């Protein structure tokens, strides 16, 4: 069986000691009441829900899965009741505006809540998780009536939202989509088309669904410039705002998936369904990307969440499973063999998992703190810089959180050996569940292309230069700290490598049209490892100053960080070398030779 205890101690360390979140947030308009005590109370309450309600449903939900009969989807046993508790606790509207019934708390807190929920039950977390993006998109682009009629129910969790983009012939290239929207003459539109891969498109946990659908108007220009966004509810609303007549939208089938079996993924048919335009005509992608950018960071956290559960489960197994003797001599002479945690290979896998996961968590908190600053800070220049950091880190958090999360779950399964491959131990479910996170909300290759093809070029390199200033401030604050040399020096080497790689990439792209595409994945990996090294420098600076406190947590933190600096960060050298091989090894082979 897998095991999961919410890592509240580590969350508090990152939130309070490393990122100083309470002081940063409490000076922002609307967050004046946000204190360390308030944040801790929220995390503790969520931990109870995750450990006591959601985690026990994870394996049973996977085994049972979702079912469909006559277009009606039923979620696994216990999910509907768990969701009712989730709604009752106010978790759906944690960050939403109080104007619509939300609690108005920072995105920084929501990130850690989402990580807990994902660690406890990844499938469950996807149901309310996608609605957060729906809320943001409607709040940013919806009409006053749309906000009034739909946001309070979405914020409360009584209704849920979806994003309907993908079609069978149009995956990442949304410019190819064919779904049509024809004016009805009364301000509404008849939406017709079929969408696939729609998470939570139909289920039995809420009274209504609010679909945000990308479609084309009759006069739409070709390509992505001709896409509009429409609000299409499952049930049309009565005059009093309650669900009334069933709309012409239905679930045609559900997908039979590798993992995430308790989270329903639907084929949705819109047969002249009544919908309303959200935002200006032909500007649907702008509205949808409000939702998608939120979800990309959310999905990065999903990868981190599975890494945490995998690590805890593998560590517990390694302490209990006895096989062989330690190379230095018997450690448990009272037993027939030593626990496998004495073996270097097992420790290597566990320390890799822990050191990367803890750095990713720190990155997630820091990045979401930038989201809050970008939304709330009174200084426009500060808001722009924070927004730049969010833009730069979104593809990195999404891709590295999910790629490394998948890598870690696989590695932790290996700790269990043959037992890891067997269903009742639960580890193989984590491997299956986490795999989708590198695919949906834009594959990780698309994240890499976004980074090298768009984010690096904005404002003549403004985003990268802004991040370099953040790093310089960190290093300047640690000048003369000889006790941190084992962290600072390896990080500085990685930074020099990343900076040189960025120059090389720009120069190579000037003469080779395939240069960015060939280097994108490795460049993002190099960037991600370097950013995680930065997180470890920041964490080590705090932990080193507190080792005399008598709390063993800080010395343990440093030992884990030393592993990252000596065994993980040096991978930047190999990644850099692969990246610099250029496009010719990829493009030289003729198509016919494949």
Is 362 a domain residue?
no
User: How high is the pLDDT of residue 172?
Assistant: 76
For strand 208-215 and strand 159-164, is the pairing parallel, antiparallel, or unpaired?
parallel
User: How high is the pLDDT of residue 289?
Assistant: 84
Is 472 a domain residue?
yes
Is 358 a domain residue?
no
Is 4 a domain residue?
no
Is 579 a domain residue?
yes
* pTM summary value: 0.97
Is 233 a domain residue?
no
- Catalytic annotation, pick one of 115, 202, 295, 441: 441
Q: Other C-beta atoms within 10 Å of 179: how many?
A: 20
The answer to whether the CB of 399 falls within 8 A of the CB of 340 is no
Tally of domains in the chain: 1
Q: 524 is in which domain, residue-wise?
A: 457-584
Residue with tokens 């979405």: 154
Q: Which residues lie across from 339 on neighbouring strands?
A: 322
User: How high is the pLDDT of residue 335?
Assistant: 94
The answer to whether the CB of 358 falls within 8 A of the CB of 301 is no
Write the secondary structure of 21-70 as one string of H (helix), E (strand) and C (coil): HHHHHHCCCCCCCCCHHHHHHHHHHHHHHHHHHHHHHHHHHHHHCCEEEC
Distance (Å, whole) CA 63 – CA 262: 8
441 counts as catalytic: yes
Indicate the Cα dihedral angle 521, 522, 526, 527, nearest 10°: -30
Is 110 a domain residue?
no
The answer to whether the CB of 229 falls within 8 A of the CB of 179 is no
- pLDDT per residue, tens digit, the chain (594 aa), is 899 999 999 999 999 999 999 999 999 999 999 999 999 999 999 999 999 999 999 999 999 999 999 999 999 999 999 999 999 999 999 999 999 999 999 999 999 999 999 999 999 999 999 899 999 999 999 999 999 999 999 999 999 999 999 999 877 777 789 999 999 999 999 999 999 999 999 999 999 999 999 999 999 999 889 999 999 999 999 999 999 999 999 999 999 999 999 999 999 999 999 999 999 999 998 888 888 889 999 999 999 999 999 999 999 999 999 999 999 999 999 999 999 999 999 999 999 999 999 999 999 999 999 999 999 999 999 999 999 999 999 999 999 999 999 999 999 999 999 999 999 999 999 999 999 999 999 999 999 999 999 999 999 999 999 999 999 999 999 999 999 999 999 999 999 999 999 999 999 999 999 999 999 999 999 999 999 999 999 999 999 999 999 999 999 999 999 999 999 999 999 999 999 999 999 999 999 999
Is 562 a domain residue?
yes
């Amino acid at each position: 069986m897998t095991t999961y205890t919410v890592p509240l101690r580590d969350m508090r360390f990152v939130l309070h000691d490393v990122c100083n979140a309470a002081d940063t947030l409490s000076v922002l308009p609307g967050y004046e009441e946000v204190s360390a005590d308030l944040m801790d109370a929220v995390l503790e309450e969520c931990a109870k829900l995750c450990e006591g309600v959601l985690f026990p449903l994870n394996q049973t939900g996977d085994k049972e899965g979702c079912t469909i009969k006559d277009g009606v989807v039923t979620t696994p046993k216990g999910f509907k009741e768990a969701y009712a508790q989730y709604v009752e606790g106010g978790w759906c509207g944690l960050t939403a505006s109080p104007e619509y019934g939300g609690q108005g708390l920072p995105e920084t807190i929501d990130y850690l809540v989402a990580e807990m929920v994902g660690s406890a039950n990844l499938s469950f977390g996807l149901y309310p998780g996608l609605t957060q993006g729906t809320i943001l998109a409607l709040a940013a682009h919806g009409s006053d009536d749309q906000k009034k009629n739909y946001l309070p129910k979405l914020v409360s969790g009584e209704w849920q939202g979806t994003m309907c983009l993908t079609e069978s012939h149009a995956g990442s290239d949304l410019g190819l989509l064919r779904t049509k929207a024809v004016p009805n003459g009364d301000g509404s539109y008849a939406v017709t088309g079929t969408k696939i891969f729609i998470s939570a498109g139909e289920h039995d946990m809420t009274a209504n669904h609010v679909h945000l659908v990308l479609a084309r108007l009759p006069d739409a220009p070709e390509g992505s410039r001709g896409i509009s966004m429409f609000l299409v509810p499952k049930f049309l609303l009565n005059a009093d705002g309650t669900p009334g007549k069933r709309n012409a939208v239905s679930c045609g089938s559900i997908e039979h998936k590798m993992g995430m079996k308790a989270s329903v993924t639907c084929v949705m048919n819109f047969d002249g369904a009544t919908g309303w335009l959200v935002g200006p005509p032909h500007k649907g992608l702008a509205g949808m990307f409000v939702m998608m950018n939120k979800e990309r960071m959310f999905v990065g956290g999903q990868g981190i969440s599975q890494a945490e559960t995998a690590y805890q489960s593998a560590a517990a197994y390694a302490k209990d499973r006895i096989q062989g003797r330690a190379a230095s001599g018997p450690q448990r002479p009272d037993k027939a063999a030593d626990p496998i945690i004495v073996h270097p290979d097992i420790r290597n896998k566990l320390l890799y998992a822990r050191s990367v996961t803890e750095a990713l968590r720190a990155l997630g908190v820091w990045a979401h703190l930038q989201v809050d600053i970008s939304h709330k800070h009174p200084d426009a220049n500060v808001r722009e810089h924070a927004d730049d950091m969010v833009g730069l880190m979104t593809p990195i958090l999404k891709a590295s959180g999910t790629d490394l999360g998948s890598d870690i779950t696989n590695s932790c399964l290996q700790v269990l050996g043959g037992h890891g491959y067997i269903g009742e131990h639960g580890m193989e479910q984590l491997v299956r569940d986490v795999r989708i996170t590198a695919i949906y909300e834009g594959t990780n290759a698309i994240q890499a292309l976004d980074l090298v093809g768009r984010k690096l070029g904005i404002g003549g390199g403004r985003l990268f230069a802004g991040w370099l200033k953040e790093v310089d401030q960190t290093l300047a604050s640690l000048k003369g700290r000889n006790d941190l040399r084992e962290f600072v020096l390896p990080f500085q080497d990685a930074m020099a490598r990343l900076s040189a790689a960025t120059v090389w990439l720009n120069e190579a792209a000037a003469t080779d049209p395939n240069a960015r595409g060939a280097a994108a994945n490795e460049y993002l990996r190099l960037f991600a490892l370097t950013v995680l090294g930065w997180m470890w420098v920041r964490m080590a600076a705090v932990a080193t100053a507190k080792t005399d406190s008598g709390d063993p947590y800080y010395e343990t933190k440093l030992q884990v960080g030393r592993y990252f600096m000596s065994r993980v960060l040096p991978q930047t050298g190999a990644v850099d070398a692969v990246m610099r091989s250029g496009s010719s090894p990829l493009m030289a082979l003729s198509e016919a030779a494949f």
